[in-house]
Amino acid sequence: MGEVMAADLDELRAFTARLRCVEAGGDAGLGIEWLDAIESLKSVGCAVQAVITDGVATSIRADRRARGLPRSEWGRGIASQIALARRESPNRGGRHLDFAQALVHEMPHTLALLRSGRLNERRATLLVRETACLSAADRGNVDRRLCSDPATLDGVGDRGLIAQAKALAVELDAASVMRRHRKAVSERRVTTRPAPDSMAYLSVLMPVEQAVCLQDTLGRDADSLIATGNSGGRTRNQLMVDLLFDRGTGVSVASGVPVAVNLVLSDETLLAGGHEAAQLQGFGPVPAGIARRLVADAVDGDVETSLRRVYSCPQSGALTAMESPSRTFPKSLRQLIDLRDRTCRTPWCDAPIRHHDHIRSRRESGATTADNGSGLCEACNYAKEGDGWTARPVHNPGGTHLIDLGTPTGHHYRSAAPPLPDPAHLRAS
């Protein structure tokens, strides 16, 4: 069986190499046929990935069970291995694993439609999501009623598909749907993520009635300011955002940002009009002009501001040390790691840093140093402690900080810390 799979893998790689050479032709009709065929190929690939993902998880769990490991260890780190293989974050790896297990064990008709190319990955994911609160039997019922006949969902849009799945879920188990709603309410949260043009999305997950009330209130008050001539030339949308900021922080937008942020920029960008982007911790790159304006606004306003020097390797730009004369932000190894790594150091995971981890563990006499330290999100740190995982710092003189991460299947991945902005003397050389 293993030899057959290895031969199939070689054939798949050869086909992938051939597909890379395909180029657009002048025949539009043939081009549409190509698009249709490739879309089917993507769906088939998704189905096969699901089957293999479930097989990997089953194999790893069986091996750990046979070796007498405690049950709590059987599934640890599997989602992270799936994520690394697919070049995605561990969070996405967990979703892929849940998706695969649902299709293989509880939704055979959805899996068959996916394998036939009649259903794409997104729509299959919606079906899995909307039936997650149901028992295996009820989920199988929805699967049969919606996907046993390919014609049932032909031409149905995503909203229509969600509506049909929700209606069947309520019909089969209204109590589970309500329990899922209560759980969702308990998980309400506020998050941010980068947007184009040095903007950011502030997302609030809350009960629908609260969200509608909040938006209506902001819109009403913005309309009132416009009607009374107190808008200051701002549009309705601009006013709604400013009102949200004012009420959320207790200060006016014009007063500056009242909480501390770490903005890392080169001396040339700050003092000599350089153009290299700065790095805003928790967000990412910020254009030089905007970074200088943020600093100037903070200095001119009532916001407490401090400056600390950060030292980088002149060849690679890697962070090597940090000075902090400010009593507000004392010198700290944890802060140095935060500034160096910026986000979780697991490849393809850009979650915020929550844990400061010894790369080579204390059990292995790992030192508490910057070279042997890394910033990790909570999930990645727990996964790394699982059976069969290894991690070690890679000696890289004159280069950026490197980590070698090994998985229980023997695969290895490299993680490189991002460089700091170039200092002026390096640019001049």
pLDDT in tens, 53-95: 999 999 999 999 999 999 999 999 999 999 999 999 999 999 9
Same-domain status, 114 and 218: no
Same-domain status, 233 and 317: no
What pLDDT does 363 receive? Answer: 78
- 156-159 CB contacts, 8 Å cutoff, 24+ apart: 158/122, 158/123, 158/126
Write down the mean pLDDT value for the chain. 83
Boundary (domain end) residue, out of 146, 165, 186? 186
Boundary (domain end) residue, out of 186, 211, 227? 186
Domain membership flag for residue 4: no
| Contact by Cβ (8 Å): 48, 55 | no
| DSSP letter, residue 413 | E
Same-domain status, 301 and 353: no
Same-domain status, 242 and 320: no
Same-domain status, 267 and 356: no
Structure tokens belonging to residue 213: 């009330």
Helix (H, G, I), strand (E, B) or coil at 188: coil
Q: What value does the mean pLDDT take over residues 303-329?
A: 49
Same-domain status, 204 and 158: no
Structure tokens belonging to residue 299: 């200095």
Boundary (domain end) residue, out of 155, 186, 217? 186
Domain membership flag for residue 179: yes
Rg of the chain, C-alpha, whole Å: 26
Structure tokens belonging to residue 379: 């999930």
Structure tokens belonging to residue 58: 């089953």
In this structure, of 178-192, 281-295, 349-363, the range with the lowest mean pLDDT score is 281-295
Domain membership flag for residue 289: yes
pLDDT at 342 over 90: no
Domain membership flag for residue 28: no
Phi, psi dihedral angles at 28 (to 5 degrees): -65, -40
Domain membership flag for residue 17: no
Q: How confident is the model at residue 281 (pLDDT cuts 50, 70, 90)?
A: low
Going 367 to 371 to 377 to 380, the CA torsion angle's sign is negative
pLDDT at 400 over 80: yes
- Rounded Cα distance, 394 and 402, in Å: 5
What pLDDT does 320 receive? Answer: 55
Same-domain status, 340 and 415: yes
Name residue, tokens 């501001």: 305
Domain membership flag for residue 278: yes
Q: How confident is the model at residue 326 (pLDDT cuts 50, 70, 90)?
A: very low
Domain membership flag for residue 27: no
One-letter amino acid for residue 389 of the chain? W
Same-domain status, 173 and 91: yes
Write out the residue range of the structural domain in which residue 314 sits: 307-429
Q: In sequence order, what are the beta bridge partners of 263?
A: 280
| DSSP letter for each residue of 111-171 | HHHHHHTSS-HHHHHHHHHHTTTS-HHHHHHHHHHHHSSGGGGTT--HHHHHHHHHHHHHH
Same-domain status, 164 and 44: yes
pLDDT digits (tens, 9 = 90+) for 376-399: 999 999 898 888 899 999 988 877
3-state helix vs strand vs coil in the chain, percent to 5: 55, 10, 35
Same-domain status, 180 and 219: no
Same-domain status, 150 and 271: no
Domain membership flag for residue 392: yes
First vs last C-alpha separation in the chain: 60
Domain count for the chain, please give it. Answer: 4
What pLDDT does 7 receive? Answer: 77
What pLDDT does 196 receive? Answer: 83
Same-domain status, 168 and 95: yes
Q: How confident is the model at residue 40 (pLDDT cuts 50, 70, 90)?
A: very high
Q: How confident is the model at residue 423 (pLDDT cuts 50, 70, 90)?
A: low
pLDDT digits (tens, 9 = 90+) for 124-149: 999 999 999 999 999 999 999 999 99
- As a residue count, the chain comes to 429
What pLDDT does 301 receive? Answer: 55
